[in-house]
Amino acid sequence: MNVGSLKIIKDIAVFLFALCNLACDVNGLVINVKNRGGDILQETIAANVTSDTITLEYQKTEGTLITQFVDFASEIQVFKVLVLGEEERGESQFQVMCFVLRFMKNEFIATDAMSKLRQKNPGTIRNAEEDKGTEQHDLDLCVDVGQASVISPHLPVLCHDAKETTFARETDLKALAKPGGPKDAKVMLKAAHKCGVGVQERCKDTTDWWQPCTCQYQLCISWYPCGLKYCRGKDSSQKVVSYRCGIKTCKKCRLMSYYSKQKINCLWDE
């Protein structure tokens, strides 16, 4: 699939997203954000109150599409990365990876609060108030997307194009397991298997394009509402009260380390 075809697919996706905004219980914002390199990116953040999910998406300057999907009910978040092929290397295909991580509910504002956010000045360039730095995640499991609904009912659709490149951590799935229930640890782990065992060499350190290796991909969310702000004031009886007076914004990077069947699928890690 060439870049032109990919653009058509993206245009269709944008159209369907806009259509859903009219018909579904979805509320979204478009935010202009300055990243660490000084580029201005446009983030779309949408909250679906009915499914209790939030989707944040932006496109990098070279064309890579980053999606952060937060499933509050399942306590997981998915980072989906769609990387375009490098034309100068004769690549016309794109590749998609999904990184599944445990989600702590204090990492992002709640869906209902997100759905009520509005911008007074939509054209303003936003900068996050707090830089949460970079977290490293070693993803030791390959997820079977066809069985991944036990992790989150949204995973099979969201990561449909990443059937062999969806990754998770065993520690996360065990922490999310509910003993005796449909999300028992044994059931959860049936949806994933250990991959890359014994593979230690970084992709950037091998010259063999077809050799299995450990790939690293860094993705950053330059602006997101990470919490609510509370102010103190006095009510009509002069009693000191606390009230919600805004949102706190953060930026955060994550360095994903995962198994790649071939170095050629990890060209950015050089």
pLDDT at 86: 66
pLDDT at 23: 34
| Strands annotated E in 84-176 | 95-102, 125-126, 130-138, 141-143, 166-168
Hey, CA dihedral for 116, 117, 119, 123, is it positive or negative?
negative
Reference 221, options 88, 107, 96; nearest CA is 107
Query: Could you give the 3-state DSSP secondary structure of residue 102?
Result: strand
Distance CA 118, CA 67 (A): 21
Q: In what order do the strands lie in the sheet with 125-126?
A: 125-126, 26-34, 40-48, 53-59, 65-71, 76-83, 95-102, 166-168, 141-143, 192-194
| Pairing label, strands 95-102, 166-168 | parallel
Reference 83, options 231, 224, 208, 215; nearest CA is 215
pTM for the model stands at: 0.84
Amino acid making up residue 78:
V
Low-confidence ranges of the chain (pLDDT < 70): 1-27, 86-92, 181
Distance CA 209, CA 203 (A): 9
What residue segments make up the domains of the chain, in order of their start? 3-265
**Phi then psi dihedrals of residue 14, to 5 deg:** -65, -40
pLDDT at 118: 85
